[in-house]
Amino acid sequence: MGQDGGEHLVDPEATGSFVARVNRYRESVGHRRFAGEDPVVYPESKAPAEVAAAAIAAERLGGLLRLDSQAISPAEDLAAAELDAGLRALANWDVRLARWRLAIAAGYAHLAEQQQRVSLARALAQTVRDLLYEPPGRPRVKPEAPVLMLLPALDRLPREELDFYAEEAKRLAELWREASRDDLLWSGWALARTRVSLRDGEPDAALAWLLRIYRRNRARLPADDPLERLVRPAEATFRLLLPLADGEDEAELRKLAEDASPHDLLVATVATLSQVWGTDLLQVSDRFALVLYQQPEPDRERPT
């Protein structure tokens, strides 16, 4: 028996009946939605079990609950949670996860303010995508455009929030353009690509970006820099993908490539270039991350 003497033991028959009631609502709304109608759930009676089943069905469908002539959106808290998760994913350059979360949020959101905030987050996702995956300074790409074009339509959001993201989109876009002319910024941008590749389980892609960073900065390194020791195995990894030149030994290249470590090369690259440039390369890389707007806390009356 449970801690309460069995008081809260689940009743299989009652549970099955309740779940069947929920599913009946879901199927009914699903048919109406397929026919082009709005996903609105109407409780068949005011009995508590009936209202509860209708509310759960509406929440799971991302629909509306019609109760006492009022339309209620029971999944708005889920929309807010998915929106928050999507924004946090964007701040970590995870565009794929962010878009998935935001698609779920869009399915749950019915309040106008919430819908507009999701639309803004989707525009920010495009900005982050362009910033991260387009070569810096590519003329046809304007990373800030999706956000700036959308802002005039967002009439339900606070002006402070809109202004913040307008400036943030412009900041990221300008930093991205400047990276095409500045080797330090380019190295920070490429390091962001490296970190994303490692997070996504793509070690060869990470090695490729680290090699590009190395070659971009090779002229600044002393001839006997120890970074070269870690670079050679990484280069061997990709030499094996190409026809071998005269004098190259495939067995030696394979043995050398076994020592390639994107993590070790990343740590060494950051340490070496931070010293060369006189600034923390990780902090330079972090400048390419989206900064999130912080909602002001409501004023509270202080005791006198």
2 located within any domain: no
* Domain with 20 in it: 13-74
Number of structural domains the chain divides into: 3
Predicted pLDDT at 89:
98
5 located within any domain: no
Angle at 223 between CA 219 and CA 227, to 5 degrees: 85
8 located within any domain: no
Predicted pLDDT at 295:
84
74, 106, 127 - which closes a domain: 74
Same domain (yes/no): 93, 152: yes
CA dist 74 and 142 (Å) reads 38
225 located within any domain: yes
Predicted pLDDT at 38:
74
Predicted pLDDT at 270:
97
Q: pLDDT tens, 90-115? A: 999 999 999 999 999 999 999 999 99
Same domain (yes/no): 113, 134: yes
88 located within any domain: yes
Same domain (yes/no): 19, 70: yes
Predicted pLDDT at 53:
93
Q: Low-confidence residues of the chain, pLDDT below 50? A: 1, 300-304
70 forms beta bridges with: 67
291 located within any domain: no
CA dist 209 and 269 (Å) reads 11
Same domain (yes/no): 63, 147: no
CA dist 247 and 34 (Å) reads 67
Same domain (yes/no): 104, 119: yes
217 located within any domain: yes
Same domain (yes/no): 82, 129: yes
Predicted pLDDT at 296:
81
Predicted pLDDT at 302:
47
